[in-house]
């Protein structure tokens, strides 16, 4: 749960920093460029670790991670945040835990109890109701793009969390990034030479936002997030994402000066309460594959016994 929370805390600033980046830079350039920068970092990490090549059976789930988390989510959110504040996008992204748990259950990764589903649905109803309240009771085109981004991320999280049990969280995101390069590179090259990307006139805040979403949101955050999903289960640890809109609201207020109203604070308390209830609900998990110890050179590092030894 702690590893998952650290990942979510990093992800929670994605929307504010994306909003900073797309203020001057073209949103498509931001989405494709951040993924390509993260792919370079991923390649360096794989070389440093001398990581083994993925098995043939790993290619399909890696493609889901690449399509959902590396292409779909960044592209849709970058375009949407040209038209809505980061605080507005935060409440829509709050439905991500339910979408992740639902896709994971459909894929047979976890078997949540009815109480778990009730907690997840309650939390999602809170964030959807808040979003509708803020937007006057209807969804705009940007809202639909954000909801589509949620589905993309949920598919990538579910497949990546399952694959992390055998491949390791770090290798999962790194290989997914490299798998996306044959698509990213020609698209970015073509787009840069056929559209005005704003790179020549972009200010410092835009490049700071681009650097954060490239190195943290697209790379380092996944190290913690996928490790947490692998150890604690996709459905259970995924509920920590209910805290993400709360953290994003505070991040948008601190970084962008977006107002933090009393309704936001009440919303934050309600979401935290739902997370506390969801953590106590039973979630049945299939046993981890025996190959996990063989293929993940960092499994011992994250084992509970290793933490206990460090405390001693």
Helix, strand or coil for residue 116? Answer: helix
* 222-244 confidence digits (pLDDT tens): 889 888 877 887 767 877 877 88
Q: Are 249 and 87 spatial neighbours (Cβ–Cβ below 8 Å)? A: yes
**162/71 Cα distance (integer angstroms):** 20
d(CA 70, CA 222): 11
Is residue 309 assigned to a domain? no
DSSP state of 52: P
- For residue 43, what are the domain limits? 2-301
pLDDT score of 274: 79
Which structure tokens are listed for 78?
A: 């970058």
For residue 65, being part of any structural domain is answered with yes
Q: Is residue 295 part of a domain?
A: yes
Q: Are 12 and 244 in contact (CB under 8 A)?
A: yes
Examine residue 310 and state whether it is found in any structural domain, yes or no: no
Q: To the nearest whole percent, how much of the chain has pLDDT over 70?
A: 86
Kindly report the pTM of this predicted structure: 0.78
Q: How deeply is 31 buried, as exposed, middle or buried, from its count of CB atoms within 10 A (0-12, 13-18, 19+)?
A: buried
DSSP H or E run through 50: none
Exposed / middle / buried, residue 138 (Cβ in 10 Å: 0-12, 13-18, 19+): exposed
In a domain, 308, yes or no: no
User: Alpha-carbon torsion 122, 124, 130, 133, what sign?
Assistant: negative
Asked if residue 142 belongs to a domain, the reply is yes
Q: 284 pairs with which residues across the strands?
A: 111
Q: Are 26 and 195 in contact (CB under 8 A)?
A: yes
- Range in 2-6, 191-195, 209-213, 238-242 with the lowest mean pLDDT: 238-242
**Residue 300: which pLDDT band, with cuts at 50, 70 and 90?**
very low
Q: 306 lies in a domain?
A: no
Strands 111-112 and 283-284: antiparallel
Q: Using an 8 Å Cβ cutoff, are 204 and 30 in contact? A: no
**pLDDT on residue 194:** 87
What is the number of domains present in the chain?
1
Question: What are 10-68's pLDDT values in tens digits?
Answer: 999 999 999 999 999 999 999 999 999 999 999 999 999 888 899 888 999 899 999 99
283, containing H or E segment: strand 283-284
> Both ends of the chain: CA-CA distance in Å?
21
Q: Does 240 reside within a domain?
A: yes
301/93 Cα distance (integer angstroms): 31
- Residue 132 and residue 8: Cα distance in Å, rounded? 24
DSSP track, 62-80: HHHHIIIIIIIHHHHHHHH
């Amino acid at each position: 749960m702690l590893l998952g929370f650290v990942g979510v805390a990093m992800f929670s600033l994605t929307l504010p920093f994306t909003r900073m980046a797309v203020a001057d830079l073209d949103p498509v350039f931001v989405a494709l460029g951040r993924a390509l920068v993260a792919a370079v970092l991923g390649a360096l990490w794989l070389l440093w670790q001398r990581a083994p090549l993925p098995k043939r059976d790993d290619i399909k789930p890696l493609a889901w991670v690449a399509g959902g988390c590396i292409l779909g989510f960044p592209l849709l959110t970058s375009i949407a945040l040209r038209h809505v504040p980061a605080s507005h996008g935060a409440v829509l992204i709050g439905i991500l835990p339910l979408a992740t748990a639902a896709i994971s259950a459909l894929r047979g990764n976890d078997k949540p109890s009815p109480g778990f589903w009730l907690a997840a649905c309650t939390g999602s109803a809170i964030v959807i109701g808040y979003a509708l309240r803020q937007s006057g009771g209807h969804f705009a085109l940007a809202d639909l793009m954000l909801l589509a981004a949620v589905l993309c991320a949920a598919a990538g999280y579910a497949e990546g969390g399952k694959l992390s049990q055998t491949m390791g969280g770090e290798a999962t995101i790194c290989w997914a990034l490299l798998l996306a390069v044959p698509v990213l590179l020609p698209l970015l090259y073509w787009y840069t030479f056929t559209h005005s990307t704003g790179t020549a006139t972009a200010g410092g805040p835009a490049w700071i936002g681009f650097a954060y979403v490239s190195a943290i949101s697209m790379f380092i955050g996944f190290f913690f997030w996928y490790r947490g999903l692998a150890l604690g289960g996709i459905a259970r640890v995924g509920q920590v994402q209910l805290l993400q809109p709360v953290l994003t609201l505070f991040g948008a207020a601190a970084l962008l000066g977006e107002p933090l109203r009393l309704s936001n604070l009440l919303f934050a308390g309600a979401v935290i309460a739902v997370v506390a209830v969801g953590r106590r609900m039973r979630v049945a998990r299939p046993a981890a594959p025996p190959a996990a110890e063989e293929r993940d050179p960092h499994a011992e590092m994250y084992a509970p016994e290793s933490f206990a030894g460090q405390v001693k």
